């Protein structure tokens, strides 16, 4: 399934959101929808889009109640290893942060917090030389991620 690199909004009426992540390798994608119609998804197949193998690109789109779409992009360094559970973690983080920061103008921060958490958890997992992500050992970073890379707003 080449090229899961796209900006998207949920098909629900009212406010909605979606996030897609693409990297240099193969992976899966999915969409998780909340009760309010907000959605979040991720994928890691960007081979047909010419993405760099050393970068993970996360794209986010939010549609407010008036139908105005806002979009952001976040580029993260790719951790050079394949891990089990990253898609599930990404979906869970997106849902949790969208619940805590539900306003459209907070979407950049949601994306940054998800990216920071993923980077912290995967870095810890790499340091511990494990293939299954180290969630318990990364509890503090999951609860309060340190954002060092900022999302950029895209012009629509």
Enzyme catalytic residues: 88
**What are phi and psi for residue 53, nearest 5 degrees?**
-70, -20
**What are phi and psi for residue 15, nearest 5 degrees?**
-80, 145
What percent helix, strand, coil does the chain show, rounded to 5?
30, 25, 45
Q: Record the tokens describing residue 56, joined without a space.
A: 């993970």
**Number of residues assigned to the chain:** 156
């Amino acid at each position: 399934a080449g090229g899961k690199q796209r900006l998207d909004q949920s098909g629900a009426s009212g406010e909605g959101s979606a996030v897609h992540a693409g990297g240099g390798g193969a992976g899966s994608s999915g969409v998780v929808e909340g009760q309010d119609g907000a959605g979040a998804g991720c994928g890691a197949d960007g081979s047909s889009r010419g993405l760099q193998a050393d970068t993970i690109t996360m794209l986010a789109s939010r549609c407010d109640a008036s139908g105005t779409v806002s979009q952001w992009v976040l580029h993260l360094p790719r951790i050079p290893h394949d891990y089990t559970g990253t898609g599930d973690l990404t979906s869970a983080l997106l849902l949790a942060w969208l619940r805590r920061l539900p306003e459209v103008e907070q979407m950049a921060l949601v994306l940054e917090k998800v990216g920071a958490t993923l980077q912290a958890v995967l870095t810890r997992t790499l340091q511990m030389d494990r293939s299954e992500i180290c969630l318990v050992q990364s509890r503090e970073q999951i609860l309060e991620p340190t954002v060092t890379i900022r999302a950029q707003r895209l012009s629509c």
